[in-house]
Amino acid sequence: MTTLSTTGLIEALNWRYAVKQFDPSRKISAADWTTLEDAMVLSPSSYGMQPWKFFVVDDAALRARLRPHSWNQSQITDASHLVVFGLPEKIDESSVDRFIARIAEVRGVETSSIEFYRQMILKDVIHGPRSAWVREWAARQIYIALGNLMTSAAVLGIDTCPLEGLDPREYDAILELPARGYNTVVACAVGYRSAEDKYASLPKVRFPKCDMLEHL
């Protein structure tokens, strides 16, 4: 397997920053974008359940309508691509059954042979300790996908800006997500930084490593 060097990784993560100003003239190539879509689909999640859907907003008019509901941030309309992360409105026994059926299909096994796994998930996420906050559990998984997208883009040399500062209800309404069974959680603009973005050259702010990480 081709791997990245340790210096390459750190270089990419230091290069990454939350882009304030994208270059509206630079589009991500089709091949690179397909790669990032595939990377999102490959995101890890608890039990492998993938409690999400990725909405890629291509339509310029839709993006213009989203912008005022995102503190008017220019990234919404200027970035090459905009991904809105959707959380399933319902996470219930049928979600688990659908997942179990997919495992059986991909791995060519009978669902009966993975009934123990089905029960394990049901007893935890649907009827057990996590059921009281299952949507929040799902939102956390979505943030794994968000983290994966930002790091994946960075190692390809592609810029991102995560966007929490948006009105999820307005996003839902404009993108008609509830009719699709989803709700907006967070978004991420993807593209290339503008040469004018003064934030690109500011020193990255992190607390000292000795305060952030401790060996026990």
Under rule CB under 8 A, which residues in 60-119 are in contact with its own copies?
A: 62, 99, 102-103, 106-107
Closest to its own copies by CB, 24 or 100: 100
Residues 189, 191: Cα–Cα separation, whole Å: 7
* 151 in contact with its own copies (CB under 8 A): yes
In whole angstroms, how close is the CB of 24 to its own copies at the nearest point? Answer: 19
Partners of 182 in the β-ladder:
88
Binder of its own copies out of 126, 139, 173, 200 (CB under 8 A): 139
Residues 9, 162: Cα–Cα separation, whole Å: 20
* 7 in contact with its own copies (CB under 8 A): yes
Q: Map residue 81 onto helix, strand or coil.
A: strand
Query: How many residues interact with its own copies (rule CB under 8 A)?
Result: 80
Binder of its own copies out of 19, 91, 145, 187 (CB under 8 A): 145
Closest to its own copies by CB, 55 or 194: 55
| List of E strands, 17-151 | 53-56, 81-88
DSSP code, position 160: E
- The answer to whether 194 and 187 have CB atoms below 8 angstroms apart is no
In whole angstroms, how close is the CB of 25 to its own copies at the nearest point? Answer: 21
